[in-house]
Amino acid sequence: MHSVVDSYILFLPLLLQVATNTETNRNAGNAILYECVKAIMTVESESGLKVLAVNILGRFLLNRDNNIRYVALNSLSNVVNEDVAAVQRHRATILDCLKDPDVSIRQRALELTYQLVNANNVVELVREMLNYLVVAPPEHRALLCSRVSSVVDKFTPSAKWQVETLITMLSIAGNHCDDGIACATVSHVTLSEVLHGFATHKLFRLLRDELPRVQVALMHVAVYCIGEFGDHLLLACDLADDSLANVYHAVPIAEVLGLLEAVLKSHLATVLTKSYVLNALIKLASRLKTGQTECLGLVKQFTTSLSLELQQRSCEYVSLLDDQWKDVRPNALVRMPAINAIVLRDSLSGAKQNNVASSLKEFSEPPLDISAPSVSTDLLDLDDLFGGAEKHTPSGAILAGAGDVDLLSDIFTGTAPPEHTDAFVSNPKFEARNASSTKNANAHLKVFEKDGLTITIDLVKDRIDPMAMDITCKFLNYTHNDFKQFVFQAAVPKYVSMEWRPASSNTIPSNKLGVVTQAIKVKKTNSSKPLMMRFKIQYTVGGRKIVEQAQISSFPTL
């Protein structure tokens, strides 16, 4: 009887013989080859045999049958980490699949292309990814922009190429980009002093040529850079693309101000956009020797604006241009300092992890627990709520329990959070307000703020029962994309009962165009224990599912 090793040695030549002698002009032959590839990649085979398997999959990519090509792309994605060099040989064929009419083929090819990016091919592959971005379905663009931004940060060959790539991406799909991409673009431009003139010239021309249909994110980045580095527009720039005449010619100040005025009148301009333009105008007026009168005239238009933000900003800027403030003005309107977005992000991430660790340690004593719902058998178990099972709390559900052990110890146990989950723990400082300031609220708290989502709550003490309190949660979206399929869930200690009312909507409109509210009534059974709450939010934006968790350590005494 052969040993396992002997059987294994005999098995490999058999696979080689089948793989090299099977015809591929029929589906039966392709099926046999596919099984051979799976066997080769499963067992500990020689590198030459693995290369043969990758080459078989590469031939599958040339097949006219979409199913075969899809299987090949999927299989290559699974083996690329084992032998990336062998897969790289078929890069040209993979890139051709990005032009396939079948969207599923394009998506698989895109995923594989992303896996193949390295420092040697980043320029070529990012160019192909941007070309695909032009024709990509709207629901796929947000993820694609995130992928491009990631590989650009990781493998960029030069600061100039990085800035050019990010600007190009904003011009193609800026409306689908996360706000962090626009911020990163500004950061990279600001950090490289030699690129101030080049980037501002490029952004100015893109904004001027595409204004009727310009992407809003590109508009904001362009207006910001014009305000910060607009003096470079009055000078020629010799860092232009090689395809041009190696120079960006100087731009008259009248043309710069005319473009900013056109932005103010654009139907795409939001209150935020107009705020950026006012900032740019006041900075240009303080730095340029000409055009101050025109800048002042544009700023004065908003002294009677219906928007309180624009009105206040305009009045303050008009006052700042008075001669009495000429000594203060240069310091007040100095260029913003350069901030490395990557270093800042890493430092904030480290600080957040430290805060999470210290907060969890703080709640380790006394032991904490989550009670199972006792009112209805079909209510959600809170261990599942925060442990990973995706369920929704029914509208109007009452979560109640008995005893004096609360909810916080087991809330993160069990299944790891989803990929996009980023635990957030806060110890908010509460700001008390008058009863008339927020519809008779006794207190107003901001309990969560991240990625453009802000959650505030109004607290109203029950007039009859001193142990009860009405809580109104308000959700506001500051980004340019709607937050859809929004779900808010919460857990409280066992000595607190909680009654939910239906949320006003499951979609939070973009650009602060609407507020979603969720009413909750809580009642304590133990007056000596503090009221605490841990909540989970989830929503979909740009094709991505976002899941966040946060904690309110204690509520104010009303």
User: What residues does CATH 1.25.40 cover in the chain?
Assistant: 1-116
Map 187-218 to HEC letters.
HHHHHCHHHHHHHHHHHHHHHHHHHHHCCHHH
Position 13 scores a pLDDT of 66
Of 526, 533, 530, 527, give the one whose Cα is nearest residue 550.
533
Position 400 scores a pLDDT of 33
User: What residues does CATH 2.60.40.1230 cover in the chain?
Assistant: 357-552
Q: What is the pLDDT of residues 422-441, one digit of tens each?
A: 333 333 333 333 333 334 45
Phi/psi of residue 77, nearest 5 degrees: -65, -30
Spatial separation of the C-alpha atoms in residues 254 and 284, rounded to whole Å = 12
Given a contact cutoff of 8 angstroms between Cβ atoms, the answer to whether 251 and 236 are in contact is: no
Spatial separation of the C-alpha atoms in residues 535 and 140, rounded to whole Å = 29
Does the domain at 357-552 match CATH 2.60.40.1230? Answer given as yes
Neighbours of 20 (CB within 10 A): 11
Neighbours of 556 (CB within 10 A): 14
Neighbours of 354 (CB within 10 A): 10
Given a contact cutoff of 8 angstroms between Cβ atoms, the answer to whether 94 and 116 are in contact is: yes
Percent of the chain exceeding pLDDT 90 equals 25
Q: What is the pLDDT of residues 243-271, one digit of tens each?
A: 444 578 889 999 999 999 999 999 989 99
Does the domain at 1-116 match CATH 3.30.70? Answer given as no
Q: How far apart are the first and last CA of the chain?
A: 82
Q: What is the pLDDT of residues 296-350, one digit of tens each?
A: 999 999 999 999 999 999 999 999 888 888 888 888 888 888 776 566 555 555 5
Whether the model pTM is above 0.85:
no
The DSSP symbol for 481 reads S
Position 273 scores a pLDDT of 93
Phi/psi of residue 197, nearest 5 degrees: -70, -45
Of 393, 426, 353, 424, give the one whose Cα is nearest residue 503.
393
Given a contact cutoff of 8 angstroms between Cβ atoms, the answer to whether 318 and 329 are in contact is: no
